[in-house]
A and B are shown apart, each in its own frame.
Chain A
């Protein structure tokens, strides 16, 4: 699971209203090399929930010097875009789980795949 995907995922346990973002508990993280496309990253940023990305980066100890808020004119800031690219696309959680911040329910991540299936009574 890449952090781009994590940014989109939410807890859908019945009755939960504050299920986003999911907490990440990683036991195995992998770094990939992905071709840097500044235009693509630029376009991704407006689609993101920035604070959730920062929180995720913190949880994984990958925050480095990522700003707590979006910098203005980021489209031309290659340095910044590279940091975002790395976090969103190159960091991958292989093993661990995602935890609903409200209910505590854990969704396992195995071989890079989050299993978000709910049981009968949770749906």
Chain B
């Protein structure tokens, strides 16, 4: 019979068939050999790194095309034409400098996940080309970022983007404005022409009197927020200079609307878009944006709100000028749920906590930065706490058989099963961790270390391992030690471990510090050398707290401790979800949640001094163990008054 083609052609056909099977199986796309107006381009998708521009360029060679649809994250694209391009079926093309092989097939219909175009939030207007490139340059030049202007404008170096205020300072600790303290510098003269245009075009009636300039580098953003109602009047205008970005608007009901803000565009937020929707910029280096093909306008889609015609846009430096009018009367908007003048809670960002000065503040700090965290991270935390420390085991093994042992702050029960000879019971503040103890068959209950529901003098021994450093005042740490001592029978012993300010002891770095390559090390702080010689409590412990304004700083893991009171990050590791696609830099992978735990790390001798303040007990021994300061206390044999 007739030869059906060369070997090469047969190979292509085989791969073609395989590709079409894959498409059908995984994506539900069925190909056909009948000529149609629609083609699927396998391997030509945003999901496998092919940009719209690259694909367009290749396909254009093939003839006139009507539309090109590229869904985000998909490894294929759809092409439609006015008439069937018979010759394209079964075609194999090279793309992206021959690095990608495309397979084209007819399809009956374009499977379109295209949603109906999502409308912009009510009250939102985007005006493109609001200023010319020359005006843009002038405005950018008018902003002086040099610190020489510190006394004139309030220039702060926020953690992420750069910010500068004119007219009135916007405070990030309470998300409000000091209306009684205008800044020396008002809105720069260079902004007037643009503002006058805003008035002429009826975006605003009154000239704004506050300007906030934000400069975002690639990878920087701003968390979603609503501009405080009581601080500013309705209309808020944001002029974007420099690179384009994508701003996301979120409605309380969950709707998300991404809006591309090109350079030199003006964004006007009024009404619902200003008072109810939050707006924010996700910190990213690439955005998914609609493509713009100047040669084929038909191929350019309306905007990013439909899923067709997308490409990746690399971010550059963007400077936004946000003009606002200070509000002097309470807000009377139609959105009381988001209105701080009408009773809604002020949305202050989680401000860094301060060192507490009273029990109530301390309890609140510990609730947020200890208890809630442990409950949230319990299973991950437990999985990293599996090896009992040898020195603690030694203490436990030394207890006479039949001893009653209380483990105060037992966590996941790590030490409850070490000695089978003792009667062990554990307690912890975290229900989630106690649940793990129960699952392991240990006896444990939920309680606070400051008030343990055990009768006085009923325990032969107590341990409190890595617990007391979570108390945020000296009084509470002392109260915790007193509680341990209360539980002890006369002659009973307690073992206490707390994190050491000094991580390197006797030239030996702690295990914590040694594990440099561990993913997200949540270990102790930095090295501050302790000498073995001065085993006695130091006479005067230096005040190493260099905490500014009493605010607690977040510790950078595996660096030196600068202060004794700090927040230590915990990066939560969750199991990767099945089938999650990797889409390269353009994708918005869910960020790893980070929790902050409060610690007061102890200086050499500090724990001994603390225990020394408790009557009826003596420090039997004290030592340094793997980045911890440790004491063994012994209760007096005869109760003294």
Contact = CB atoms under 8 A, between A and B. Distances in A.
B446 A8 contact: no
B451 A12 contact: yes
A10 B455 contact: yes
Interface stretch (A23-31, A61-69, A76-84, A110-118): A110-118
Interface in B427-483: 427, 429, 431, 434-435, 438, 443-448, 450-455, 458
A114 B434 CA distance: 10
B458 A8 contact: yes
Contacts of A115: 431, 445-447
Contact of B446 (A4, A39, A114): A114
Given A44-B402, A111-B438, A115-B431, A8 B447 contact: no
A117 B449 CA distance: 10
Contacts of A44: 402, 423
A9 B402 contact: no
B455 A8 contact: yes
A47 B447 contact: no
A2 interface: yes
Contacts of B450: 123
A43 B448 contact: no
Given A5-B443, A8-B454, A113 B425 contact: no
B425 A5 contact: yes
A116 B426 CA distance: 12
A122 B590 CA distance: 42
Contact of A118 (B431, B445, B451): B451
A47 B404 contact: yes
A5 B402 contact: no
Contacts of B434: 113
A121 to B, nearest CB: 12
A12 B452 contact: yes
Give the size range of A's interface with the partner.
20 to 34
A117 B448 contact: yes
A40 B402 contact: yes
A8 to B, nearest CB: 6
B401 interface: yes
Contact of A8 (B404, B431, B451): B404
B446 A113 contact: yes
A46 B489 CA distance: 14
Given A8-B425, A9-B454, A111-B435, A116 B447 contact: yes
Contacts of B453: 9-12, 116
A115 B401 CA distance: 28
A106 to B, nearest CB: 13
Contacts of B444: 113
A42 B433 CA distance: 31
Contacts of A46: 402
Query: Most chain-B Cβ atoms within 10 A of its Cβ — which of A8, A10, A112, A115?
Result: A8
A43 B435 contact: no
Contacts of B455: 8, 10, 20
10 contacts: A2-B443, A4-B423, A5-B443, A8-B404, A8-B458, A47-B402, A113-B445, A116-B447, A118-B448, A120-B363
Interface of A: 1-2, 4-5, 8-12, 20, 39-40, 43-44, 46-47, 111-118, 120, 123
Given A4-B443, A39-B401, 5 more contacts: A2-B443, A12-B452, A47-B404, A111-B435, A112-B438
Closest CB pairs A-B (n = 3): A43-B402, A116-B447, A114-B445
